[in-house]
């Protein structure tokens, strides 16, 4: 199988392990003979790693064990050798304090696993929110060709009372429960059906957002992201991913930096806006761009958002779940509609350009995938605001907020942490009314590892009066399945002395979305006086990963990567040392 080298005879990366007639070559081959691979197999065939975040504590990724087997079949069919590498699984709703700080840890695990093992290409298997960006970031830094395959959306069931049992439905029912419009019993019935099948959240939450933008980035096969986890077509896709990965392994191409360029990020942001996707994807795209040296900033998101309407009629900004979006044409259909706004010459791991993928695409339901001149809602889907309260920026998912709050002035009600909100939000002595601006601070990347607390609950007495949205501002994130006038990711965060730390109860806050402004209406001298008094919260983390995290985490406007993880290393091994090394002998 000598034709497994590239057309220009570039040797396989794995040859550095297996093709040497020396003691290390002997050790590597004999070690894997225990798995069943012969000397000839290992010397001639391309090796593909399958990085799998399966775990049975993570139902969003529960089908990845099956998909890994299908990928393995595809790799074998194409003449490759598959090796599966288990990765840390980040189960969004279970892991504490939140999944977010572990995104970077998993990215490091993925990067070092790829670099340290003899993989000529890798297949990344993720699903639940943070497993996807973590694997992408790690693989991008490792520099080895990769394809990403998501677990696919779950298939929610109908629950008591006709409520659709999905994550966005949870938020709506919590609102109804707090407003006294839903019984505890009906809410409990909903609990039993909300996670009815394997697969990630089935609306355009963070997992679906990351899944679809992987297609726009060019790192997933076209049409692969929205096929439900329980749909057998996903198994067929997994086999195709396996087969394609072998071709990439043989050719050593496309490398991550050949796909993930500025055009790819523009295309991804365009799609993110068009589907009303998760604000978390902003952070992940910023971090990923940092890994491949693309100078992406928050301003680019705002620029693109101004010209891209909401065309996908999916929750939480629209009506349907992602299965309808798939049936309407999926991501290829969305890209076809967005054609005039895309870089069509961008490369993909499929081997075709985005433009060539568009040529083969169709839209079959124009209620779910709307035309550019017939959007689901008018106005931008997301906005970036700045001002003396957020000098480095903050974001808002405008398409999921009440437009009445786009120009708003109101007095601040400040909460220092999420427990205080839980204890106090319904306290009538706080005097909260619908004009109040709810502030949560110390929930940023350093303060609390940036949990999804940004959709602050509204006081019961206001909900009972029919109030369903209020202006909320925080340095936290918000679930991609949630909604509301929440200004998120305020940067710099309060815990490092950002202006959010200086807000006091009763201060007037002004938001002007059309002008992209967020202002704390307090005199500069008074703010300076408060700044002199401010004391940083003491770090709780004296050792271990969280200590490393707090010392190196970057702010939200930079993507919350570690400062030492920006960029990629060249894929080199120290040849002299490697040749002379006899590990474990």
Nearer to ligand FES, 305 or 400 (CB): 400
Smallest distance, ligand FES to C-beta of residue 461, A = 31
What is residue 86's three-state secondary structure?
strand
Token pair 């006709």 in the structure block, residue: 162
Using the rule CB under 6 A, which residue among 47, 207, 221, 398 binds ligand FES?
207
CA dist 560 and 105 (Å) reads: 12
Rounded-to-integer distance, Cα 314 and Cα 215, Å? 18
Q: For the chain, count helices (H), then strands (E).
A: 23, 12
Binding mask 40-69 for ligand FES (x = CB under 6 A): --------------------x---------
Positions 131 through 150 that interact with ligand FES (CB under 6 A): none
**Stretch near ligand FES under the rule CB under 6 A, chosen from 198-206, 309-317, 448-456, 505-513:** 198-206
Single out the residue of 173, 164, 215, 479 nearest to residue 329, CA to CA.
215
Binding mask 339-378 for ligand FES (x = CB under 6 A): ----------------------------------------
**Burial letters for 263-297: b for 16+ Cβ neighbours within 10 Å, e otherwise?**
bbbbbbbbbbbbbbbbbbbbbbbbbbbbbbebebe
Q: Are 411 and 405 in contact (CB under 8 A)?
A: no
Any idea which residue has 């590239």 for tokens? 6
Q: Does 95 bind ligand FES (CB under 6 A)?
A: no
Cβ 97 to ligand FES, closest distance in Å?
A: 16
Q: Is 201 in the site for ligand FES (CB under 6 A)?
A: yes
Nearer to ligand FES, 200 or 347 (CB): 200
For ligand FES, the closer of residues 167 and 398 by Cβ is 167
Q: Cβ of residue 93: shortest distance to ligand FES, in angstroms? A: 5
By CB under 6 A, tell whether 486 contacts ligand FES: no
Site for ligand FES in 541-580 (CB under 6 A): none
Q: Token pair of 370, please?
A: 């709307």
Report the residue number, 207 or 385, with the smaller CB distance to ligand FES.
207
Of residues 128 and 503, the one with the C-beta less far from ligand FES: 128
Q: How far apart are CA 279 and CA 452, in angstroms?
A: 11
Q: Burial-class residue 117 by CB neighbours within 10 Å (0-12, 13-18, 19+).
A: middle
Measured from the CB atom, is 129 or 493 closer to ligand FES? 129
| Residue 480 φ/ψ, nearest 5 degrees | -65, -15
Spatial contact of 385 and 396, defined as CB atoms under 8 Å apart = yes
Between 503 and 542, how does the x/- string for binding to ligand FES read (CB under 6 A)?
----------------------------------------
Q: Where are the alpha helices (DSSP H) in 94-182?
A: 100-116, 131-142, 167-178
Q: In terms of DSSP bridges, do strands 407-415 and 437-440 run parallel, antiparallel, or are they unpaired?
A: parallel
Give the residue with the Cβ less far from ligand FES, 44 or 452. 452
* Alpha-helical regions (H) of 184-232: 184-193, 206-217
Tally the C-alpha atoms within 13 A of residue 12's C-alpha that lie toward its C-beta: 31
Beta carbon of residue 242, minimum distance to ligand FES (angstroms, whole number): 24
Question: Cis link prior to 492 (omega < 30° from 0)?
Answer: yes
Task: Pick from 29, 200, 263, 347 the residue near ligand FES by CB under 6 A.
Answer: 200
**Nearer Cβ to ligand FES (152/492):** 152
CB of residue 87 vs ligand FES: minimum separation in angstroms? Answer: 15
Using the minimum distance from each CB to ligand FES, give the nearer residue, 82 or 205: 205
DSSP state letter for 562: B
Smallest distance from ligand FES to CB 168, Å: 10
Contact (CB, 8 A) for 212 and 331 = yes
- In the set 12, 128, 149, 470, which binds ligand FES (CB under 6 A)? 128
Stretch that binds ligand FES, among 183-191, 197-205, 279-287, 452-460 (CB under 6 A): 197-205
**Cα–Cα distance between 67 and 50 in angstroms, integer?**
10
User: Least separation, in Å, of the C-beta of 297 and ligand FES?
Assistant: 27
Residues sharing a CB contact under 8 Å with residue 309, sequence separation 6 or more, in sequence order: 274, 370, 372, 375, 376, 377, 378, 381
Assess 92 for contact with ligand FES (CB under 6 A): yes
- What track of x and - describes contact with ligand FES for positions 155 through 194 (by CB under 6 A)? ------------x---------------------------
Cα–Cα distance, 351 to 168 (Å, whole number): 36
Q: Contact at 8 Å (CB) between 249 and 47?
A: yes
Structure tokens at 558: 């930079």
98/113 with CB nearer ligand FES: 98
Q: Which stretch binds ligand FES (CB under 6 A): 81-89, 201-209, 233-241, 357-365?
A: 201-209
- Which tokens go with 522? 């307090």
Which range binds ligand FES by CB under 6 A, 4-12, 135-143, 200-208, 337-345? 200-208
DSSP string, 233-270: HHHHHHHHHHHHHHHHHHHT-S-HHHHSSHHHHHHHHH
Residue 129 interacts with ligand FES (CB under 6 A): yes or no: yes
Q: Per rule CB under 6 A, is residue 212 in the interface with ligand FES?
A: no
How far is the C-alpha of 451 from the C-alpha of 109, rounded, in Å? Answer: 22
Contact between 203 and ligand FES per CB under 6 A: no
Q: Which is nearer to ligand FES, 58 or 163 (CB)?
A: 58
Nearer to ligand FES, 67 or 142 (CB): 67
Q: Does 205 bind ligand FES (CB under 6 A)?
A: yes
CB hemisphere CA count around 101 (13 angstroms): 24
Toward ligand FES, which CB reaches closer, 60 or 273?
60
How many residues in the shown chain lie near ligand FES by CB under 6 A? 10
Nearer to ligand FES, 104 or 168 (CB): 168
Phi, psi of 570 (to 5 degrees): -65, 145
Instruction: Give the residues lining the site for ligand FES (CB under 6 A).
Output: 60, 92-93, 128-129, 167, 200-201, 205, 207
């Amino acid at each position: 199988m000598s034709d497994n080298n590239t057309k220009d005879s570039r040797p396989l990366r794995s040859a550095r392990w297996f093709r040497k007639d020396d003691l290390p070559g002997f050790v590597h081959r004999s070690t894997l003979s225990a798995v069943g691979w012969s000397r000839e197999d290992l010397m001639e065939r391309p090796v593909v790693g399958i990085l799998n975040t399966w775990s049975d504590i993570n139902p969003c990724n529960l089908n990845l064990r099956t998909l890994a087997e299908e990928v393995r079949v595809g790799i074998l069919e194409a003449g490759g050798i598959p090796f599966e590498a288990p990765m840390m699984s980040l189960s969004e709703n279970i892991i504490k304090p939140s999944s977010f700080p572990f995104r970077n840890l998993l990215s490091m695990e993925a990067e070092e696993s790829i670099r340290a093992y003899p993989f000529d290409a890798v297949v990344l298997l993720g699903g639940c929110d943070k497993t996807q960006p973590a694997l992408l970031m790690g693989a991008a830094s490792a520099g080895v060709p990769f394809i990403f395959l998501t677990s696919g959306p779950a298939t929610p069931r109908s629950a008591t009372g006709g409520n659709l049992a999905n994550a966005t439905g949870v938020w709506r029912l919590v609102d109804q429960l707090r407003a006294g419009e839903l019984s505890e019993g009906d809410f409990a019935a909903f609990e039993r059906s909300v996670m009815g099948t394997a697969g990630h959240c089935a609306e355009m939450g963070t997992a679906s957002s990351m899944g679809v933008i992987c297609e726009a980035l060019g790192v997933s096969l076209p049409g692969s992201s929205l096929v439900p986890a329980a749909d057998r077509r996903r198994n067929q896709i997994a086999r195709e991913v396996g087969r394609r990965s072998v071709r990439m392994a043989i050719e050593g191409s496309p490398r991550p930096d050949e796909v993930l360029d500025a055009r790819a990020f523009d295309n991804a942001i365009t799609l993110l806006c068009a589907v009303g996707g998760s604000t978390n994807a902003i952070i992940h795209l910023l971090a990923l761009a940092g890994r491949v040296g693309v100078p992406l900033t928050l301003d680019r998101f705002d620029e693109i958002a101004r010209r891209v309407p909401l065309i996908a009629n999916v929750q939480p900004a629209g009506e349907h779940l992602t299965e309808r979006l798939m049936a309407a044409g999926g991501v290829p259909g969305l890209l076809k509609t967005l054609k005039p706004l895309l870089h069509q010459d961008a490369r993909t791991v499929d081997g075709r350009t985005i433009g060539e993928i568009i040529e083969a695409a169709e839209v079959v339901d124009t209620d779910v995938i709307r035309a550019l001149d017939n959007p689901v809602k008018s106005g931008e889907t997301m906005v970036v605001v700045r001002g003396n309260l957020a000098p480095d920026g903050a974001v808002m998912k405008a398409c999921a907020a009440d437009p009445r709050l786009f120009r708003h002035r109101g007095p601040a009600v400040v909460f220092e942490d999420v427990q205080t909100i839980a204890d106090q939000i319904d306290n009538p002595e706080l005097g909260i009314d619908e004009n109040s601006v709810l502030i949560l601070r110390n929930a940023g990347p350093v303060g609390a590892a940036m949990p999804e607390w940004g959709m602050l609950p509204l006081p019961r007495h206001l909900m009972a009066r029919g109030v369903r949205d209020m202006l909320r501002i925080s340095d936290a994130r918000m679930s991609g399945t949630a909604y509301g006038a929440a200004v998120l990711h305020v940067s710099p965060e309060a815990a490092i002395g950002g202006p959010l730390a200086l807000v006091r109860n009763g201060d007037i806050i002004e938001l002007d979305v059309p002008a992209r402004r967020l202002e704390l209406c307090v005199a500069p001298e008074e703010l300076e006086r408060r700044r002199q008094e401010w004391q940083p919260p003491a770090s709780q983390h004296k050792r271990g990963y969280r200590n490393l995290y707090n010392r190196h985490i970057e702010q939200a406007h930079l993507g919350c990567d570690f400062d030492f993880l920006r960029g990629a290393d060249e894929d080199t091994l120290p040849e002299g040392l490697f040749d002379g090394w006899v590990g474990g002998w």
